[in-house]
A and B are shown apart, each in its own frame.
Chain A
């Protein structure tokens, strides 16, 4: 990416950090700016994991109420603002999936969308080195391990759901993921 793009990403990140800080001080219009900068990305995460547009909108609503309440605790020195927000959305969507076992089946498109997951240039969401490092480490795993980690995390699948989908024994799936996660931790340099 060129220098101009980097500056844009940096500007967007700065705007987001400022908006979060002001939201944390109780400014609703600042939360509106956070929403404007991030709602499409967070909605994508909720939609991907819930597989249901209406549910995803309910989850997203809860996510921004959580963000409002937690904004004051965000520490820009410890986390990228987008990663922090995306994690809140991911957790909320997973909580929703696990809370309804009957509807908790693999949503359409939860799997086999690896092509969609290719990094995309995105003004706000460019996460620079962190993401490149994680993707490089995933690429260094055995293909099955990397795909199991990717598809469970991004698709909101349980061990059992991935095992069913791949028609592979549960024990094998667990072993791929556990070994993959161990290697990932070492590769990321904090194992």
Chain B
């Protein structure tokens, strides 16, 4: 379906990202748009669906047994948080919000998660730190986030992110659509102080997102991959 919000340039860029032909700054720009522009992200997904049947024509090959063994080791034995564990950590964060409610006064921010399952935690008026979750467009991982605007303190709950050699890098994407790196964060829960120069971007309409990046060269100017988690800021 033609999307009236997409310029012909962006339509073309979405097709090119799905096709895989982009590199360098063009790819970075396209990946950035998948974070900041839902219509663009939807067009990329539509192209992936259109092209996917072609992948059925690739000749099959048998991988060595070490692959399954490694997969099994990574998803088993606590290496992976089960949904129940994630829920527990979310509840912990909700608890933390009540405890630290006295810290901030006045301004409360809430993260409204993106698709597929918007899940906003209603915060009682007594608490001024709002808690919600970041979620992935096509992943079951979620992350609870709380922000204290007075101290510039951002608290992140644990999330079951890709356990590869890459590390989660947090981005704030204000309404200009340009992602600013807030640095590498720990996937098992973290607390970071947002740089004074970046705090002005932590405002209504901004998006928080996490991409998996090379920790040694962080913070980066732009994301190199699609986000694994994203959610929107809105002031309540």
Q: Answer whether residue B176 sits at the interface, using C-beta atoms and an 8 A cutoff.
A: no
Q: Answer whether residue B74 sits at the interface, using C-beta atoms and an 8 A cutoff.
A: yes
Taking CB atoms, residues of chain B closer than 8 Å to A47 are 61
Bitwise interface map of B from 15 to 38 toward A, beta carbon under 8 Å scored 1, else 0: 110011111000100000000000
Cα A28 to Cα B224 in complex, Å, equals 31
Taking CB atoms, residues of chain A closer than 8 Å to B74 are 61, 65
Indicate if the CB atoms of A39 and B63 lie closer than 8 Å.
Answer: yes
Taking CB atoms, residues of chain B closer than 8 Å to A90 are 20, 48, 52, 55
Interface residue tally for chain A (C-beta within 8 Å)? 79
A57 interface neighbour in B21, B23, B67, Cβ under 8 Å? B67
Q: At the interface, is chain A mostly helix, strand, loop or mixed?
A: helix
| Residue of A with least CB distance to B52 | A83
| Residue of B with least CB distance to A78 | B49
Taking CB atoms, residues of chain A closer than 8 Å to B23 are 98, 101, 104, 158-160
With A24-B140, A28-B75, A134-B50 already in contact, the answer to whether A177 and B58 are too (CB < 8 A) is no
Cα A31 to Cα B21 in complex, Å, equals 31
Which residues of B in the span 42-77 have a Cβ within 8 Å of any Cβ on A?
A: 46-64, 66-68, 70-72, 74-76
Taking CB atoms, residues of chain A closer than 8 Å to B235 are none
Taking CB atoms, residues of chain B closer than 8 Å to A150 are 54
Which stretch, B99-107, B156-164, B189-197, touches the partner chain A? Answer: B156-164
Taking CB atoms, residues of chain A closer than 8 Å to B22 are 158-159
Indicate if the CB atoms of A188 and B50 lie closer than 8 Å.
Answer: yes
| Residue of B with least CB distance to A26 | B82
Cα A75 to Cα B67 in complex, Å, equals 26
Indicate if the CB atoms of B21 and A41 lie closer than 8 Å.
Answer: no
| Residue of A with least CB distance to B51 | A153
Q: Answer whether residue B225 sits at the interface, using C-beta atoms and an 8 A cutoff.
A: yes
Q: Answer whether residue A99 sits at the interface, using C-beta atoms and an 8 A cutoff.
A: yes
Indicate if the CB atoms of A87 and B55 lie closer than 8 Å.
Answer: yes
| Residue of B with least CB distance to A97 | B20
Cα A60 to Cα B226 in complex, Å, equals 18
Indicate if the CB atoms of B12 and A181 lie closer than 8 Å.
Answer: yes
Q: Answer whether residue A167 sits at the interface, using C-beta atoms and an 8 A cutoff.
A: no
Task: Quote the shortest CB–CB distance from B233 to chain A (angstroms).
Answer: 23
Task: Quote the shortest CB–CB distance from B115 to chain A (angstroms).
Answer: 10
Indicate if the CB atoms of A127 and B53 lie closer than 8 Å.
Answer: yes
Q: Answer whether residue A130 sits at the interface, using C-beta atoms and an 8 A cutoff.
A: yes
Taking CB atoms, residues of chain A closer than 8 Å to B141 are 69
Indicate if the CB atoms of A44 and B224 lie closer than 8 Å.
Answer: no
Q: A99-B225, A149-B19 are in contact. List 15 more A-B contacts (CB 8 A).
A: A26-B83, A40-B62, A61-B71, A62-B162, A65-B164, A66-B162, A68-B71, A73-B138, A134-B51, A154-B57, A159-B16, A159-B21, A160-B23, A162-B21, A191-B2
